[in-house]
Chain A
Amino acid sequence: GAVVSQHPSRVICKSGTSVKIECRSLDFQATTMFWYRQFPKQSLMLMATSNEGSKATYEQGVEKDKFLINHASLTLSTLTVTSAHPEDSSFYICSARREGGYTFGSGTRLTVV
């Protein structure tokens, strides 16, 4: 139980384009979803906290106009990387709190060329 489905798992896009990443909670309602980014050999870093029906909360240094978060329902949160640049290439992963801990999506490896 408590599965979070994340899509796509891998995406390559051209510089300047936008990419949308979806996270769905399949068997529970996630009022809050967390979005992380992980660069090679570094720890997961929280980018933003998405709350169903309200604005996301962004961490310091994360541009809210570049990383658009939408959490329109209790089972779906999306992260859109707008005007992507090569430095945005990273592993993006979502997470939701559940009983006993946190459950993670499978992650999205974004490569901007």
Chain B
Amino acid sequence: RKEVEQDPGPFNVPEGATVAFNCTYSNSASQSFFWYRQDCRKEPKLLMSVYSSGNEDGRFTAQLNRASQYISLLIRDSKLSDSATYLCVVSGGANNLFFGTGTRLTVIP
């Protein structure tokens, strides 16, 4: 079983739509959780960390469910510029990072 699993998509949504991504992780001892955004052929960039209490940054909301071992990312009012691959990243101990395969989002005009 993979450490982190994501639906690869693609998700094609119209501008203004709300879209949600989920990600599951296998190691219950995982400590830190992140969503990264990766544009084609570019490096991943931190979108937001994910906290147990949930957190929101503008149009983006991330939530963590430790009991079910999943993380979600909600994007409201999608913009064309949101088109990218969204990586779910989970950190175990000893600085290990585990990446999902990423979910590809395309926002359509």
Q: Which residues of A contact B (CB under 8 A)?
A: 6, 32, 34, 41-46, 49, 91, 93, 95, 97, 100-107, 109
Q: In the complex, which residues of chain B have a beta carbon less than 8 angstroms from the beta carbon of A45?
A: 99
Q: In the complex, which residues of chain B have a beta carbon less than 8 angstroms from the beta carbon of A97?
A: 95
Interface of B, secondary structure class, is strand
Query: Chain B's nearest CB lies how many Å from the CB of A30?
Result: 11
CB pair A102 B97 closer than 8 Å: yes
For window 44-101 of B, CB contacts with A under 8 Å fall at 44-46, 49, 87, 89, 95-97, 99-101
**Residue of B45, B49, B89, B95 with most chain A CB atoms under a 10 A cut-off:** B95
Q: In the complex, which residues of chain B have a beta carbon less than 8 angstroms from the beta carbon of A91?
A: 41
Question: Are A107 and B42 CB-contacts (below 8 A) given A43-B101, A43-B102?
Answer: yes
Q: In the complex, which residues of chain B have a beta carbon less than 8 angstroms from the beta carbon of A101?
A: 32, 34, 46, 49
CB pair A49 B44 closer than 8 Å: no
Question: Are A43 and B42 CB-contacts (below 8 A) given A32-B95, A34-B95, A49-B95?
Answer: no
